[in-house]
Chains A and B, each alone.
Chain A
């Protein structure tokens, strides 16, 4: 279980030779386009403030060019910030000297990459113990740990294969095993599943969720896929053009998108898998009839339970089983379909 969250405070990243000089101007409202046009500098991140809870999965979502990969590289400082702080366990990662930073990377963080970034000349097991090799752990010890994690990610029997002999999904399992073998608190996943086929991607998401339920690491997950973000994220941060546009749980983002940009995003989302029963239930009317469903169940699961038992009404219970509300089929359907947008209501008014 990870003990410390990650606090990102007032982080700026400007790419260019005189980056620091322009921080003030950007803070005072110089736009990305203006900065590029006038000074030839590229604005990567602007005033990022995110608190990533310990033991939870924080998803940073954005389209390409939104700065999400730049952001995750600030957490282990593969990219130097122009301004701002990344605090872990009371220490500013951005202020560490070279030696401390190396120790921090060796023991506190592990990273999984979009293009796997495995060592092609090492076998699966040798790749898995790579982090421990770097730490100087003797092979007699590291191979045991590596073997354990290879089994956990479902790669038994492939220990002595080379990465090129494996499919993309399997290579990323090696990437995940390599990160987990490091036994670090922080797990950084940079578009880890973006290069995988949809089915394998869902598979790997399940692997991650299962492992996370047990390990409770502080996971930072980068993705451009909202469905993936909603499935994995305890907390979701949406980036656009290097700025945070909205932060919150999946439900909050789907139910109250902050602007048109996010509204456009969430329109295509399967809401039944995101919205929980307690969010749309009606107050408890005293009749504990129908199936009993726990408050945090998603609407899709609730609908399934209700159809299977042939009921049109369900009683929502808290974790202890006490009834706290009711849910009928109609309310549920209304919540699951995308609400009519402003366009349609305007047409109706005319």
Chain B
């Protein structure tokens, strides 16, 4: 550019830090990370072990049980969750189609990892959400962390997870949980904060302790919002399961990855539709369950 002839160099080309500095810095950080992992490998393994066991157990349970048993149990859960014949029949049709195209086992593997990651996300997210609702300071610290977690591209999660935990099912699971937990935390926090101030004042006036207030008033009244959080968490786990297949998670995600690599158009879409089917089943069931929890607030009296 001609204009560059009149300008100092630094104004024209961005004065980046020299490559060698960045290389050094990267090396220091990466080596530090690896050293840390090597040093504390036994702790990381100990952390992984129960997750590994739980995940394997559930996966084996899902894949080795006869498909008839699994389907019946699923339909029973869906029916009692949603109390809707339509959703139950839809579930039956969806699962039968998945079985027909030969994806039953892969679907079970995916189902297992989504179940485990959702449970972990709830166990982690609920208390953090409660803490956030109780303290402005905690909220001030955690909110920006959640913002970063939610805007960070999901592939980037895989890097530290792989560095620290290696390749395999459990690292994939951890990546899924990290990706899926923010809505759980946010909506728990929001639900508790939205609880009617008057009702809280009544709880105080009758001499509730903090714990009583939480369990008698805040949690029950926040439950519909929390259910929406669980629903979101499930949906995000299903999305992340595909990405996590890059670090060794099996099931429908891995099939999709293979289809991308080999340009298996039909196979890729069949897996994609199978994921969609599970997503719809989970979504409709959990939403219908959430609605049922709110039945008391239906205004019957005019």
Contacts and interface: CB of A to CB of B under 8 A. Distances in A.
Contacts of B206: 105-106, 110-111, 130-131, 134, 182
Interface string A93-118: 00000000011111101110101111
Interface string B193-226: 0001011011111111100100011001101000
Residue in A102, A115, A117, A130 whose Cβ sees the most chain B Cβ within 10 Å: A117
A107 B206 CA distance: 8
Contact of A103 (B205, B207, B220, B221): B207
Interface stretch (B112-120, B150-158, B266-274, B292-300): B292-300
Contacts of B301: 164-167
Nearest to B204: A78
A15 B157 CA distance: 48
A88 interface: no
A279 to B, nearest CB: 38
A120 B198 contact: no
Nearest to A130: B206
Contact of A120 (B207, B209, B297): B297
Given A106-B206, A117-B201, A164 B296 contact: yes
A117 B212 contact: no
Nearest to A170: B301
B298 A102 contact: no
A131 B199 CA distance: 13
Given A120-B297, A121-B221, A165-B301, A134 B202 contact: no
B204 A164 contact: no
A112 B202 CA distance: 8
Interface residues of B, number: 24
Contacts of B297: 120-121, 162, 164
Contacts of B296: 120-121, 162, 164
B207 A119 contact: no
Contacts of A103: 207
Contacts, number: 75
Contact of A76 (B205, B221, B298): B205
Interface string B36-62: 000000000000000000000000000
Interface string B275-302: 0000000000000000000001111110
Nearest to A101: B207
Nearest to B200: A117
A128 to B, nearest CB: 12
A120 B221 contact: yes
B207 to A, nearest CB: 3
A252 interface: no
B221 A134 contact: no
Nearest to B202: A117
A78 B207 contact: no
A113 B198 CA distance: 8
B202 A111 contact: yes
B220 A106 contact: no
A134 B212 contact: yes
A40 to B, nearest CB: 21
A228 interface: no
Contacts of A78: 201, 204-205
Interface string A117-133: 11111000000001101
A102 B201 CA distance: 13
A102 B211 CA distance: 13
Nearest to B198: A117
B199 A164 contact: no
A116 to B, nearest CB: 8
Contact of A134 (B201, B208, B220, B300): B208
B113 to A, nearest CB: 34
A121 B297 CA distance: 7
B216 A133 contact: yes
Contacts of A188: 205
Contacts of A116: 198
B134 to A, nearest CB: 16
Nearest to A99: B209
Contacts of A109: 205
A116 B199 CA distance: 8
A163 to B, nearest CB: 8
B217 A119 contact: yes
Contacts of A182: 206
B205 A105 contact: yes
5 contacts: A102-B209, A119-B216, A164-B297, A164-B301, A165-B301
Given A111-B206, A134-B216, 12 more contacts: A102-B208, A102-B209, A103-B207, A107-B207, A110-B205, A113-B198, A119-B199, A119-B217, A120-B297, A121-B297, A134-B206, A164-B301
Instruction: Give 4 nearest A-B pairs by CB, closest first.
Output: A106-B207, A105-B207, A117-B202, A111-B205
Interface of B: 196, 198-199, 201-209, 212, 216-217, 220-221, 223, 296-301
